[in-house]
């Protein structure tokens, strides 16, 4: 496989790999390292990429596994919690702060979900993968993926309602 063929095959989903790594590792620097490591591994095994039905799903699975390995390692204690993914143009400062707080709040709620739900909500609601691709990536049946996604959304919705109604009788 030539370098140009390799790049055509793997570059279209680079941002998705990074966002999944960032969701799992939280730190931008760690996510960048994970993305770089994944692409290095893909390059080393470029001759085998043609054997995979869906290279993107394979790469996302590799990313998930790499991130879990990083989190389990001793270096995981060095990971920092930083979220600043949301940017909006032409909005008042008050609205920007409100949006940032809301997005940050949802990110925190997602972070508190069980790992499986966290990955599935990231892949479906943020990365916009369809259910078949998610099933392949997480090695689960469609029904199980739908149930996990539903539970994750319900948990987030209930927490947001609870926070919104706090102190209201």
CB-based contact 79:30 (threshold 8 Å):
yes
The last residue of a domain, from among 37, 63, 82: 82
> Do 130 and 67 share a structural domain?
no
CATH code at 143? 1.10.10.10
* pTM (2 d.p.): 0.54
Please tell me the predicted confidence (pLDDT) of residue 162: 85
The residue count of the chain comes to: 169
Residue 66 shares a structural domain with residue 99: no
**Do 65 and 140 belong together in one domain?**
no
Together in a domain, 18 and 71: yes
pLDDT at position 73 is: 74
CATH number of the domain encompassing residue 18: 1.10.1740
Domain that holds residue 137: 88-169
**47 and 97: one domain?**
no
Structure tokens belonging to residue 168: 């209201």
Which of 82, 109, 141 represents a domain boundary (last residue)? 82
Are residues 95 and 42 part of one domain?
A: no
Query: 153 with 168, same domain?
Result: yes
Could you tell me if 53 and 10 lie in one domain?
A: yes
Cα distance between residue 8 and residue 13, in whole Å: 10
- Answer with the one of 52, 82, 112 that is the final residue of a domain: 82
> Where does the pLDDT of residue 90 fall: very low under 50, low under 70, confident under 90, or very high at 90 and above?
low
Q: How many domains in the chain?
A: 2
**97 and 145 belong to one structural domain:** yes
- Using the 8-state DSSP alphabet, how is residue 91 labeled? -
Asked if 32 and 75 sit in the same domain, the reply is yes
Class of residue 99 by CB neighbours under 10 A (exposed 0-12, middle 13-18, buried 19+): middle
Reported as a single tens digit per residue, the pLDDT across 129-151 is 999 999 999 999 999 999 999 99
pLDDT in tens, 15-65: 999 999 988 888 888 889 999 999 999 888 888 888 888 889 889 999 998
Burial class (CB in 10 A: 0-12, 13-18, 19+), 115: exposed
Tokens 């290279």: give the residue. Answer: 55
| Residues 127, 103 share a domain | yes
Q: Determine contact, residues 20/64, Cβ cutoff 8 Å.
A: yes
């Amino acid at each position: 496989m030539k370098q140009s063929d390799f790049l055509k095959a793997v570059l279209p989903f680079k941002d998705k790999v990074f966002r999944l790594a960032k969701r799992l590792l939280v730190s931008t620097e760690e996510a960048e390292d994970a993305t770089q490591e994944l692409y290095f591994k893909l390059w080393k095994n470029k001759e085998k990429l043609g054997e995979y039905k869906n290279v993107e799903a394979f790469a996302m699975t590799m990313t998930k596994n790499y991130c879990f390995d990083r989190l389990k390692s001793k270096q995981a204690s060095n990971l920092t919690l930083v979220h600043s993914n949301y940017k909006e143009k032409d909005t008042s400062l008050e609205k920007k702060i409100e949006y940032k707080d809301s997005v940050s709040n949802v990110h925190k709620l997602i972070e508190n979900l069980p790992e499986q739900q966290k990955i599935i909500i990231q892949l479906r609601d943020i990365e916009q993968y369809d259910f078949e691709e998610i099933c392949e990536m997480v090695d689960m049946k469609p029904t199980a993926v739908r149930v996990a996604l539903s539970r994750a959304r319900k948990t987030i919705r209930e927490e947001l309602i609870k926070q919104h109604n706090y102190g209201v009788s």
